[in-house]
């Protein structure tokens, strides 16, 4: 698995699935300045790591600027959208909720 570098001449949004299983999905997004990801909900918990650039994450609770090096956590089924303010590379991890008798709750 290799993360792609953010090219200075990024012309369009790009999505790369880096790993996927029944339990999680790891995706890299390259988003152009002014680009968007429309409102959506993930089936599991989400961690967004902004590797480069800057985005505004829009949630029902308010908007949040996310810069290079910052992480954001979203609950399962939490609606969100993204507006990119400066070409950005995002590493997104989606953790699928487990259900059933073999799931152990810790804590």
Residue 28 lies in domain? 14-92
| Mean confidence (pLDDT) of the chain | 91
Residue with the bigger pLDDT between 90 and 10: it is: 90
Cα gap 96→26, rounded to integer Å? 11
**Is residue 77 domain-resident?**
yes
Cα gap 95→27, rounded to integer Å? 12
Which CATH number does the domain housing residue 71 bear? Answer: 2.60.120.10
**Is residue 6 domain-resident?**
no
**Is residue 97 domain-resident?**
no
Number of domains observed in the structure of the chain: 1
Sorting pLDDT into bands at 50, 70 and 90, what band is 96? confident
Sorting pLDDT into bands at 50, 70 and 90, what band is 105? low
**Is residue 106 domain-resident?**
no
pLDDT tens by residue, 17-56: 999 998 999 999 999 999 999 999 998 999 999 999 999 9
Whether 59 shows a pLDDT value over 80: the answer reads yes
Q: Name the DSSP class of 103.
A: P
């Amino acid at each position: 698995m290799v993360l792609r570098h953010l090219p200075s001449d990024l012309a369009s949004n790009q999505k790369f699935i880096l790993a996927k299983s029944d339990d999680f999905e790891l995706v890299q997004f390259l988003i152009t300045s002014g680009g968007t990801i429309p409102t959506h909900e993930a089936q599991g918990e989400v961690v967004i790591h902004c590797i480069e650039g800057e985005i505004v994450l829009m949630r029902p609770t308010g908007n949040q600027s996310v810069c290079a090096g910052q992480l954001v956590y979203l609950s399962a089924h939490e609606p969100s959208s993204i507006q990119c303010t400066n070409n950005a590379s995002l590493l997104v991890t989606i953790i699928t909720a487990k259900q059933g008798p073999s799931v152990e709750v810790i804590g």
